[in-house]
Amino acid sequence: MKKIRAIILLAFPFLCWGALTTYFLSQGNAWAATFASLPFIAFVLLVAFPRAGLGHFAFTHEIGPVEEVEETQRQYHLKMAKWWFAGSLLFPVCIALAFLFSKFEGFALVTMFVGIILGIPCFLKCLGSLYQAIRARS
């Protein structure tokens, strides 16, 4: 059963991100394909270098507030999830800025790039912190 679970967890990202990237490339949208392939690349780097590197940092490294002495693990992870969610709000803000200033193509492109590069990983880290809070013993 553990082997099947490991195979599914390994195959799922390849299927989703690979299919999405292939779809965007078939449509001729190179920018969207680049952005769609970034999580796929991070996952490949995690598999290739499990103990160090960018993939390890993207999926496992904790950044944020220091754990208080009287604070439980659950409280700490919920606090982390709150901060990661606040960081993920950069995505809709940047997309709104790109929409408002769409006449300046360079600015719109940079704000969309920043929103995607920083907002989506923060949201994923928020989900990871919520998962750790659920698993933590009070």
DSSP classification of residue 134: H
Q: What is the pTM assigned to this prediction? A: 0.51
Task: Read off the pLDDT of residues 24-83 as tens digits, 9 standing for 90 and up.
Answer: 888 888 777 877 777 777 777 777 777 776 666 666 655 566 667 788 888 888 888 998
Calpha distance 42→121 (Å, rounded): 11
Q: Which amino acid is at 11?
A: A
Structure tokens at 37: 């392939």
pLDDT at 138: 62
Calpha distance 41→60 (Å, rounded): 15
Q: Which one is predicted more confidently, 94 or 46?
A: 94
